[in-house]
Amino acid sequence: MSAQSDGFCSQRFVIVTATALAFMVRLAWLHWAPEPEADSVEYLSLARNLLATGMFSADGVVPSTYRPPLYPALLALVHSVGAPMIAGTLVLQCVLGAATLPFVHDLVRPFAGRRGAAFTIFALAMAPMTMRYASLVLTETLFVLLIVVGSWAWSRSHSVMAGTAFGLATLTRALFWPFMIVLALYGLATRRGSLIRMAGIALVVVSPWLMRNAMVTKRLTIADAGWGGNLLFGTVVLTGRSNPWTKLIEVNTAAGSIDPYEAERSARAEALRRIASAPLVWVIARASQYPWLFLDNGVYLPLRANAFTFRDAIRSGEWATIVVKAGFVLGNLAVLVAALYGLWQCRLQLAAAAPIWSLPLYLALSQLPMYVEPRYGLPLEPYLLMLAAIGLAKPVLP
């Protein structure tokens, strides 16, 4: 057997092993899956009403444009094939989370080599937050798979596949649509037909939903959620036990409306008023929140150590809590530093590495004015690990 064949078999073994490991640890995490709440309840209501009435509606009466449609449709599909909606979706998410790894491996290998690619997928397989959110009825696992598949297809000039994946990602998280506009404008400015095709295919995928919403609301929107409330929460200077979510309730009450679009519009107006009247407070709020896009203190781990806050742990000498939380934060910082160095290394091959560095850069910039909590950084994880692998390895020119 040739050395090339040996290398191929070795890579395939690494991919299969890491993928199987990722699936098993995510499946094991389902033991600690909590009861659905907050956003999860909304997605489940949309799915159940879709099954019962054929209408995308939160209450089964009024058509909704508050959430994008793909994730509720996935929940409904799982139930329609005979599986329990929640349990079936969570098992499927374990599959989807594991399925992300082969694409990540192939995406980063030309830049970080075989060892760097192996490091990336084993680190991603065991990344605690990716395991945690596979056990929750939330969009994160599906969204991460779609953007990674889109990046992989982009790196191989499969414009139709990339555009389809990015379009579906936009129908999962509306935050993604400005990225497609940027790609289209850049493609037009540089006369890169592949980027224009990619953005065009994404628009084709999204357009039926846009037209439906335009007929329902007379507005071209993918989803109303997030553009007001998260901007308002981003003006709040957080303290150890502050709860910015109460701010939106106050704004809703003041507006005298329970219509989600009106609530978001009122929240956005209030956010802009606060920013204009106290810009320094807003800067302080952003400085206090933004680092948590990249940091994770492991608060979701099912450990006794998480019965205490970090501040209380220092006061009472709970060293297990201190070690767990500080270890998570320091580990995140190490990955971030390596990723920043990897981003610097990518300057040598900006165009070829664009599918790796452009998405995390966009996702990080898009959260600058918005409320941040660690789970919002979950889509960054595969990209930060890929960039870290590039930073730790001698870059391999494609």
- Residue for token pair 């439906």: 212
Dist. CA 157–CA 351, nearest whole Å = 12
Domain count, the chain: 1
List of residues 6+ apart from 394 with CB closer than 8 A: 113
**Does a structural domain hold residue 287?**
no
Distance of CA 389 to the CA centre of its chain: 20
Give the C-alpha distances (Å, rounded to integers) separating 373 from 177, 183, 244, 299, 370: 21, 27, 11, 12, 10
Residue 218: the pLDDT is 84
**Does a structural domain hold residue 274?**
no
Residue 397: the pLDDT is 43
**Does a structural domain hold residue 153?**
yes
Length of the chain: 398
User: CA angle, 156 as apex, 152 and 139 as ends, to 5°?
Assistant: 20
List of residues 6+ apart from 383 with CB closer than 8 A: 339, 356, 357, 359, 360, 363
**Does a structural domain hold residue 285?**
no
Q: What is the mean pLDDT of the segment spanning 367-372?
A: 91
Can you give the residue range of the structural domain that contains 303?
Answer: 3-225+294-392
Dist. CA 342–CA 352, nearest whole Å = 14
**Does a structural domain hold residue 284?**
no
User: Model-level pTM greater than 0.95?
Assistant: no
List of residues 6+ apart from 87 with CB closer than 8 A: none
Write out pLDDT tens, residues 39-92. Answer: 899 999 999 999 999 999 988 888 888 899 999 999 999 999 989 999 999 999
Dist. CA 190–CA 184, nearest whole Å = 10
Write out pLDDT tens, residues 132-148. Answer: 999 999 999 999 999 99
> What percent of the chain is modeled with pLDDT above 90?
60
Comparing 36 with 226, the larger pLDDT belongs to 36
- Residue for token pair 């940027």: 182
- 3-class DSSP assignment, residue 63: strand
**Does a structural domain hold residue 266?**
no
Write out pLDDT tens, residues 89-114. Answer: 999 999 999 999 999 999 999 999 99
- 3-class DSSP assignment, residue 57: strand
User: Is the per-residue pLDDT at 37 higher than 50?
Assistant: yes
Q: What are 384's two structure tokens?
A: 């930060």
Distance of CA 381 to the CA centre of its chain: 9
Distance of CA 325 to the CA centre of its chain: 22
List of residues 6+ apart from 138 with CB closer than 8 A: 39, 40, 43, 375
**Does a structural domain hold residue 166?**
yes
Write out pLDDT tens, residues 237-268. Answer: 876 555 666 666 666 565 555 677 788 888 88
* Residue 398 pLDDT class (50, 70, 90 cuts): very low
Write out pLDDT tens, residues 263-288. Answer: 888 888 889 999 999 999 999 999 98
**Does a structural domain hold residue 261?**
no
Highest mean pLDDT pick, 9-13, 204-208, 393-397 = 204-208
Q: Considering Cα of 223, then 229, then 231, then 234, what sign does the dihedral take?
A: negative
